[in-house]
Amino acid sequence: MSLLEVKNLKVHFPVKQGVFSRVHAHVKAVDEVTLSVGVAETVGLVGESGCGKTTLGRAIIRLVEPTAGRVLFEGEDLTQLRGSALRSRRRKFQMVFQDPYGSLNPRMTVGQIIAEALDIHRLVDGAPARQQRVAELLRAVGLDPGHAQRYPHEFSGGQRQRIGIARALAVEPRLIVCDEPVSALDVSVQAQIINLLQDLQEQRGIAYLFIAHDLAVVEHISRRVLVMYLGKLVETADARGIIHAPKHPYTQALISAVPVVDPASKRRRIVLPGDVPSPIDPPSGCPFHPRCPVAEARCRVEVPLLREVSPGHWAACHLA
Amino acid sequence: MSLLEIRNLQLEFGIGPTALRAVNGVSLTLAAGETLCLVGESGCGKSVTALSIARLVPSPPARYVGGEILLNGKDVLRMNKADLRGIRGGVVSYVFQEPSASLNPVFRVGHQIREALKLHRPDRARAEEVVRLLKLVGIPAPELRMRDYPHQLSGGMQQRVMIAMALASEPKLLVADEPTTALDVTIQAQILDLLRDLRTRLRMSILLITHNLGIVGDLADRVAVMYAGQIVELSPATDLLQRPLHPYTLALMNSVPKLGAGAQRLTAIPGNVPSLEAMPPGCRFHPRCARARPECAREVPGLIEVEPGRWVRCPFWTQPLPARQEALG
Ligand SMILES: Nc1ncnc2c1ncn2[C@@H]1O[C@H](COP(=O)(O)OP(=O)(O)O)[C@@H](O)[C@H]1O
Ligand SMILES: Nc1ncnc2c1ncn2[C@@H]1O[C@H](COP(=O)(O)OP(=O)(O)O)[C@@H](O)[C@H]1O
Ligand SMILES: [Mg+2]
Ligand SMILES: [Mg+2]
């Protein structure tokens, strides 16, 4: 059994317009997404901005209410849980955010930030135990336990991201949704955080849903990779398959667009025309067809479904 | 003669003992038609160096305490206002990271390009010229798009408009400060293609600031790597990417995952970039350097030409580095 199973998840946001604020349309931020994450597995989620990555991550941990679909955590449907039942399950999944600045309360010390997570779930008894656990957690993320009395602004961006990770670890989660955790960091610090996440996974058996727009980072950290476009999954396979043998023309373009360091590599670059269309009024048929270099007549009318094009490799393309 | 020659530039913020030296002895040249990439992590002084070329760093707080910036042989740091206007309007143009911050939200983009023309090429401040510029930067249906307000355009289209405005004055040098950092990778590819195309068509020099080594491989003739206000390595791009000589350049390259390289563990650089208030003595990189020796903490290394065209700020550049430099946290 997978740790997490997401089935046909939809998140549609109403769009209001005009003086009467009538709902006249919906943003299909997440549309019929199905995925699973195994115990201690890392699944990467890539796609361009606005394709629904954050909304999918937030819907999984119920920070936004799904419109339809099911989210099974260890076999239990989270979308059916309310109140205290939901709160007690919340412990098992956490989120780490892109912006370490915005996600830490500036008026609390680092020690208080981490202790708060422990207290909400009543994980420690008494001040000495709490203090000891905070120290343990700070050490686990490579920070000096002596810094528990300091405030977030006294730390660098990379250190703040470590604090965010310590807070997530405090409740011993089984799954952490990492939403672009290294995107705002300098490259030398990115590597420190990526290595830390990998070490923690090895030591604690935590699974990650790792969201990023940097394909190289996602390939590096993930066992499997999901590619999203306009709210839908368009391709999923193991990381090798996605990077070396992409089947969907969108994935192919995405990979070919990454500038590579090696000046000797003369790759063929597919430059996609135009911009990502609006998720309010997505194109008919295959949502990618207006930008697709190989689209045919039927791509404008028939919606392609995800199908297994080779063992373990799924793509939503009529031509794959 | 080079189009641009920066000699030993020294720039400080503030005065007296608390002054912070953000640029500490930067020297570089840029030939006509050449593309130079300026690479480094945030805060190392890339933007301040680039803005200095047209003296656009607000002063105060900035003070130029040494060096010269020769544009076509004339020192920008000693120019009068009229000469400065001349270079801002005809020699150097800038494109920045956030097009939405540089465009005025209340005016149509065509109007804004026309204003730029009025300023720099009054004889050509006509609608046809606006259309020609929009076409030049690959905006489809320019006659329609010029009537749009900035918010009606995507980030990629806004950046094209910014490039069109920068080109209005027919600059010899285009300074692009992280022009694709805020864009998605498929849009980034479009903008990089555009810059490459414009470079050959207009025979411009480009100073491109980026922290992405992939972009260096894609576009640069030469590359300067900055660390803590100094250039630590300056080299033809191909040589540098194939065989980096400064320990920082090598560490930077090893710390980024490479597409197609799989799950091989990354070699992080330990510690953090030093702040201007707490610059380490000696070599500024020594506390994070795998090759550091005791003398690195005492002696300030100079930038030396170790092979023709290759400059390195490390006297021990021939010494092998330890195979792996692990993160200390
Ligand atoms: N609370 C919300 N209300 C309305 N629309 C939203 C909301 N949150 C996100 N969206 C829209 O949903 C789409 C997906 O957004 P998001 O999940 O943030 O994408 P990503 O993380 O991939 O950049 C976007 O079009 C965005 O504007
Ligand atoms: N107006 C200013 N006043 C004071 N310090 C500044 C100012 N502008 C930049 N700095 C400082 O100068 C250094 C270099 O900044 P910058 O050139 O913007 O770095 P980069 O572009 O490489 O990220 C940084 O330490 C920054 O904080
Ligand atoms: Mg997001
Ligand atoms: Mg900058």
- Say how many domains are in chain B: 2
Could you tell me which residues come within 8 angstroms of residue B140 by beta carbon, excluding any fewer than 6 positions away? none
Residues B219 and B315 in one domain: yes
Residues B181 and B131 in one domain: no
Question: Which pLDDT score, from 0 to 100, does residue B17 have?
Answer: 85
φ and ψ of B58, to 5 deg: -60, 130
Among A107-121, A271-285, B150-164, B218-232, where is mean pLDDT lowest?
Answer: A271-285
Q: Is any atom of ligand 1 closer than 6 Å to the C-beta of A49?
A: yes
pLDDT higher at B126 or B321: B126
Question: Which pLDDT score, from 0 to 100, does residue B329 have?
Answer: 32
**Mean of the per-residue pLDDT values of chain A:** 91
The last residue of a domain, from among B122, B144, B170:
B170
Query: What is the pLDDT averaged over residues B58-68?
Result: 93
Query: What is the pLDDT averaged over residues B57-68?
Result: 93
Q: If you measure from the C-alpha of residue B61 to the centroid of ligand 2, how many angstroms do you get, rounded to a whole number?
A: 11
Question: Which pLDDT score, from 0 to 100, does residue B326 have?
Answer: 42
Question: Which pLDDT score, from 0 to 100, does residue A18 have?
Answer: 61
Residues B182 and B147 in one domain: no
Residues B65 and B102 in one domain: no
- Burial (CB count <10 Å: 0-12, 13-18, 19+), residue B84: middle
Q: If you measure from the C-alpha of residue B45 to the centroid of ligand 2, how many angstroms do you get, rounded to a whole number?
A: 6
Locate B277 and state its tokens.
Answer: 């208030």
- Ligand that comes closest to the CA of residue B51: 2
CA dist A65 and A30 (Å) reads: 12
* Residue B194: CA count within 13 A, CB half-sphere: 27
Domain hosting residue B124, numbered range: 92-170
Q: Which residue in B42, B193, B257 is closest to A271 by CB distance? A: B193
Does residue B48 fall inside a structural domain? yes
Interface residues from chain A to B (CB-CB < 8 Å) = 48-49, 142-143, 156, 158-159, 186-192, 194-195, 198, 213, 215-217, 219-221, 239-240, 243-244, 253-264, 269, 271-272, 275-276
What's the pLDDT tens digit per position in A29-43?
999 999 999 999 999
Chain-chain contact of A259 with B192 (C-beta, under 8 angstroms): yes
What's the pLDDT tens digit per position in B37-47?
999 998 999 99
Question: What Å distances lie between residue A134 and A124, A140, A204, A218, CA to CA?
Answer: 10, 10, 17, 30
Q: If you measure from the C-alpha of residue A179 to the centroid of ligand 3, how many angstroms do you get, rounded to a whole number?
A: 7
Q: Is A273 helix (H, G, I), strand (E, B) or coil?
A: coil
CA dist A258 and B147 (Å) reads: 33
Residues B211 and B67 in one domain: yes
Question: Which pLDDT score, from 0 to 100, does residue A112 have?
Answer: 95
Contact in structure between A279 and A50 (CB atoms under 8 Å): yes
Among A113-117, A161-165, B89-93, B259-263, where is mean pLDDT lowest?
Answer: B259-263
Locate B33 and state its tokens.
Answer: 């038609």
Residues B105 and B153 in one domain: yes
Does residue B197 fall inside a structural domain? no
Question: Which pLDDT score, from 0 to 100, does residue B65 have?
Answer: 94
Question: Which pLDDT score, from 0 to 100, does residue A20 have?
Answer: 62
Chain-chain contact of A188 with B259 (C-beta, under 8 angstroms): no
Shortest Cα distance from A125 to chain B (angstroms)? 30
- In what side-by-side order are the strands of the sheet with A175-179? A93-96, A175-179, A207-211, A42-46, A224-229, A232-238, A313-315, A307-310
Q: Is any atom of ligand 1 closer than 6 Å to the C-beta of A13?
A: yes
Does residue B141 fall inside a structural domain? yes
Which pLDDT band, with edges at 50, 70 and 90, does A263 fall under? low
Query: What is the pLDDT averaged over residues B91-101?
Result: 92
pLDDT over 90 (residue B233): yes
Query: Which of B139, B152, B185 should one mutate to test binding to chain A, selecting the residue with the greatest count of A CBs within 10 A?
Result: B185
> How far from the centroid of its chain's Cα atoms is residue B155's Cα?
20
Question: Which pLDDT score, from 0 to 100, does residue A22 have?
Answer: 67
Contact in structure between A302 and A295 (CB atoms under 8 Å): no
Q: Which of B21, B48, B225 to mutate to test the pocket of ligand 2 (most atoms within 8 A of CB)?
A: B48
Residue nearest to atom 5 of ligand 1 (CA): A13
- A79 sits in the region (left: phi over 0; alpha: psi -120 to 50; else beta) called alpha
Residues B217 and B240 in one domain: yes
Query: What is the pLDDT averaged over residues B254-282?
Result: 89
Chain B residues inside the 8 Å CB shell of A198: 265
CA dist A225 and A243 (Å) reads: 9
Does residue B124 fall inside a structural domain? yes
Question: Which pLDDT score, from 0 to 100, does residue A277 have?
Answer: 85
Q: If you measure from the C-alpha of residue A185 to the centroid of ligand 4, how many angstroms do you get, rounded to a whole number?
A: 14
ipTM of the complex: 0.86
Locate A96 and state its tokens.
Answer: 């780490």
Does residue B85 fall inside a structural domain? no
Does residue B149 fall inside a structural domain? yes
Question: Which pLDDT score, from 0 to 100, does residue B327 have?
Answer: 35
Beta strands of B31-81 (E only): which ranges?
35-39, 62-71, 74-75
Question: Which pLDDT score, from 0 to 100, does residue A24 have?
Answer: 73
Question: Which pLDDT score, from 0 to 100, does residue B89 have?
Answer: 82
Could you tell me which residues come within 8 angstroms of residue B85 by beta carbon, excluding any fewer than 6 positions away? none
Query: What is the pLDDT averaged over residues A15-21?
Result: 67
Does residue B153 fall inside a structural domain? yes
What's the pLDDT tens digit per position in B72-87?
999 999 999 999 999 9
Q: If you measure from the C-alpha of residue B277 to the centroid of ligand 2, how many angstroms do you get, rounded to a whole number?
A: 12
CATH no. for residue B72?
A: 3.40.50.300
Chain A residues inside the 8 Å CB shell of B257: 194, 216-217, 219-220
pLDDT over 60 (residue B203): yes
Question: Which pLDDT score, from 0 to 100, does residue B325 have?
Answer: 46
Residues B184 and B313 in one domain: yes
What's the pLDDT tens digit per position in A101-119?
788 999 999 999 999 989 9
Q: Is any atom of ligand 2 closer than 6 Å to the C-beta of B47?
A: yes
Chain-chain contact of B185 with A189 (C-beta, under 8 angstroms): no
pTM score, whole prediction: 0.91
Angle at alpha carbon of residue A232, lines to A230 and A235, rounded to 5°: 115
Shortest Cα distance from A249 to chain B (angstroms)? 13
Question: Which pLDDT score, from 0 to 100, does residue A215 have?
Answer: 94
pLDDT over 70 (residue A17): no
Question: Which pLDDT score, from 0 to 100, does residue A146 have?
Answer: 92
Total residue length of chain A: 320
Number of C-beta neighbours around residue A288 at 10 A:
25
Q: Is any atom of ligand 1 closer than 6 Å to the C-beta of A27?
A: yes
The residue among A100, A164, A195 whose CA lies nearest residue B327 is: A195
The residue among B39, B28, B34 whose CA lies nearest residue B206 is: B34
Chain B's closest residue to A291, CA to CA, is B186
Chain B residues inside the 8 Å CB shell of A263: 217, 237-238, 241-242
* Residue B245: CA count within 13 A, CB half-sphere: 27
Residues B113 and B73 in one domain: no
pLDDT over 80 (residue B15): yes
Question: Which pLDDT score, from 0 to 100, does residue A264 have?
Answer: 66
Question: What Å distances lie between residue B20 and B14, B225, B276, B279, CA to CA?
Answer: 7, 21, 6, 10
Query: What is the pLDDT averaged over residues A200-219?
Result: 95
Does residue B195 fall inside a structural domain? no
Locate A2 and state its tokens.
Answer: 């997978």
Residues B156 and B183 in one domain: no
Q: Which of A11, A27, A227, A233 to mutate to test the pocket of ligand 1 (most atoms within 8 A of CB)?
A: A27
Chain-chain contact of B260 with A243 (C-beta, under 8 angstroms): yes
Residues B11 and B63 in one domain: yes
Residues B155 and B181 in one domain: no
Query: What is the pLDDT averaged over residues B161-174?
Result: 95
Q: Is any atom of ligand 1 closer than 6 Å to the C-beta of A51?
A: yes
Q: Is any atom of ligand 1 closer than 6 Å to the C-beta of A110?
A: no
CA dist A100 and A184 (Å) reads: 9
